[in-house]
Amino acid sequence: MEGVESDGATTVSPLAKWRNDFSMAFQYYLDRSAPNIVNRWLGTLAVAAIYVLRVYYIRGFYVISYGLGIYILNLLIGFLSPNVDPELEALDGASSPKRESDEFKPFIRRLPEFLFWYAITKAFCVAFLMTFFSIFDVPVFWPILFSYWVFLFFLTMKRQITHMIKYKYVPLNLRKKVTALISLNKFWEMFV
> Furthest-apart CA pair in the chain: how many Å?
75
What pLDDT is stored for residue 44 in this prediction? Answer: 96
DSSP string, 3-33: EEEETTEEEE-HHHHHHHHHHHHHHHHHHHH
pLDDT band at 102 (very low <50, low <70, confident <90, very high): low
User: What count of other Cβ atoms lies within 10 Å of the Cβ of residue 128?
Assistant: 19
Span 128-148, pLDDT tens digits: 999 999 999 999 999 999 999
Q: What are the phi and psi torsion angles at 148 (to 5°)?
A: -65, -40
User: Angle at which helices 113-130 and 37-58 pack, to 10 degrees?
Assistant: 20
79 within 8 A of 111, measured Cβ to Cβ: yes
Each domain of the chain, given as residue ranges in start order, spans 36-191
What mean pLDDT do residues 149-165 have? 92
What pLDDT is stored for residue 61 in this prediction? Answer: 93
The dihedral built from the CA positions of residue 151, 156, 162 and 164, taken in this order, carries a sign that is negative
Span 86-100, pLDDT tens digits: 777 666 555 555 555
Q: In the predicted model, what is the mean pLDDT of the chain?
A: 82
